[in-house]
Chains A and B, each alone.
Chain A
C-alpha cells in the first residue's frame, strides 16, 4: 500500500516558467511533509517542508501548498532555472513514527 504517491514520473518545463510538482497521500494522520531534490549519484537534498497546521510555506522561488481535505500537496518553483533539473521526492512524516514515507519521485527537466 503506497501511502505517498507522485503520479507524474517526469515533467518538462521551459526555463523561466512555473514548475508544479504534485504529491498525493492517503494517511490523514501525517503531521508534516517535505520535499527533497536529488541529482544523479548524490543523496537527496532537503528543499522545503510544511506542517499539517499550515496550508502554504514559501522559501524564495519555492512554495509548497497543502490541501488537507484533498490529501494533496504541490511544490511550485518560479521562475524555473536549468539547475532545477533533478528528481524531486515528496515525503510525509507522522509524529512518533520515527520514519518518513517517500513518494516515487518526479524527474523535472528545465529546457532552455
Chain B
C-alpha cells in the first residue's frame, strides 16, 4: 500500500474562517511533508516533520499551523487566510527524511479562499 490520503478534496473558506486539512498514511513512514502548488508551478515545500517533530519550516506565514499528532497523521490548520493562499495543498510522506527517493504524494486538497 503506497497510499497517502487527504481530506477534504476541495475546501472553500472565507478570510475569517478557521479550517483544517488532514493527511494520513499507513506505510510506516516517519517523515511527512506539506507542499503548496499553484497552477503551472512546481510544488513548494512548506513544512517537514520527522518522527512527529517539526524539522523544517520554509518561512511559512503563521496563518498556516501544522500539527503531527502521531506517526500516521498530519494536519494543517488554517486561519485568516488571504485569497493568494488559494492553491492545491499536497501532503507527502517518505520512509525517513533521508529517503526522499521514497516520497509519495497524496491527491491534494484544492483550497479556495474568498
Contact = CB atoms under 8 A, between A and B. Distances in A.
A43 B90 contact: yes
A98 B55 contact: yes
A74 to B, nearest CB: 18
Nearest to A33: B101
A41 B42 contact: no
Nearest to A34: B101
Nearest to A107: B40
Interface residues of B, number: 28
A44 B43 contact: yes
B101 A93 contact: yes
A89 B42 contact: yes
Contacts of B107: 41-43
Contacts of B105: 36, 43-46
Most chain B beta carbons < 10 A, residue from A34, A46, A51, A96: A46
Given A43-B6, A99-B45, 12 more contacts: A32-B101, A41-B88, A43-B106, A43-B107, A44-B105, A51-B101, A95-B98, A98-B56, A102-B42, A102-B43, A103-B42, A104-B41
